[in-house]
Amino acid sequence: MVAGPPLNDEGQAFLVKAECPFLVDSGAFGEVAFQNVLYYGVQPSELEVLVNTHAHVDRAGGDWLFHEAGVTVAAGERDAIAIQRGDREYTAADMIGVELKPTPVGWIVKEEALVCGAELLLLPGHTASSLGIYYEGVLLAGDLLGPLCTKWGSEGEAWIKSIEKALSLEPNVMCANNECFYGKHKVRFMLEKSLEMGPPWLEECKPKN
């Protein structure tokens, strides 16, 4: 972990040292993640890619800093549009109170792939094109557990399918919604509890039908 609770108050970000190093999210501002990447002995130029789990500013607000250092930014199709435009509504800047600086996205993810030997997963629901990373029993899932809002292209059915996909992986560790859950039983409990409760729509932006 290079940013986010318990390190600081930004969204969680992770440095993954797989077959090559890459970053998952960048936090709200990027400076903490940037310094911690260096602390762990990785130069920005060595990063294969910066994968955004989704476009919300607490997760993607620091993308510009890594982009300026020459790192390729990746995001799901709809989220990539929001990052490149600095879309205030889609990036939740209006809720979080931080602006996302428009940043070019060099890899628009439309299908699942491998990144340095890690699995890049399509996990839509929280946003229209949320992503996750699965590597050696660890699932980095952004804000997989919710909440949902129509302004972000959230879909209840897609959310359910993504939770079910996460369950099928049987991860030993899952980091989601700025928390990390350890042990297969705990992870399964959190995912099954989420399914039991149903899609967590924010009251102010539920679907009209």
Mean pLDDT across 96-111 = 96
Residue spans of the domains in the chain: they are 14-205
Q: Which two tokens stand for residue 198?
A: 């149903």
Q: What is the pLDDT of residues 110-144, one digit of tens each?
A: 999 999 999 999 999 999 999 999 999 999 999 99
* Residue of 208 and 159 predicted with greater confidence: 159
Residue 209 has pLDDT above 90, yes or no: no
For the segment 8-22, what is each residue's pLDDT rounded down to a tens digit? 999 999 999 999 999
What pLDDT was estimated at residue 204?
83
CA distance 136 to 84: 31
**Its pTM surpasses 0.95:** yes
User: Residue 207: which pLDDT band, with cuts at 50, 70 and 90?
Assistant: confident
Q: Are 108 and 77 in contact (CB under 8 A)?
A: yes
pLDDT digits (tens, 9 = 90+) for 77-88: 999 999 999 999
Return mean pLDDT, the chain: 96
**Rounded mean pLDDT of 148-171?**
97
Residue 61 CA to residue 181 CA, distance in Å, equals: 25
CB distance 83 to 100 below 8 Å? yes
Q: Is 192 helix (H, G, I), strand (E, B) or coil?
A: helix
Mean local confidence (pLDDT), 81-102: 95
Q: Are 146 and 177 in contact (CB under 8 A)?
A: yes
Confidence at residue 206, expressed as pLDDT on a 0 to 100 scale: 80
Homologous superfamily assigned to 14-205: Ribonuclease Z/Hydroxyacylglutathione hydrolase-like (3.60.15.10)
Report residue 119 as tokens: 């699995």
Give the β-pairing of 73-76 and 50-51.
parallel
Could you tell me which of 96, 78, 77 has the C-alpha nearest to residue 28?
96
Mean pLDDT of 165-174: 98
Q: Are 207 and 201 in contact (CB under 8 A)?
A: yes
What are the φ/ψ torsions at residue 79 (nearest 5 degrees)? -70, -35
Which whole number is the average pLDDT over 96-117? 97
pLDDT for 208 beyond 80: no
Per-residue burial over 160-179, b if 16 or more Cβ lie within 10 Å, else e, is: eebbebbeebebebbbbbbe
Residue 205 has pLDDT above 90, yes or no: no
Type of residue numbered 62:
G
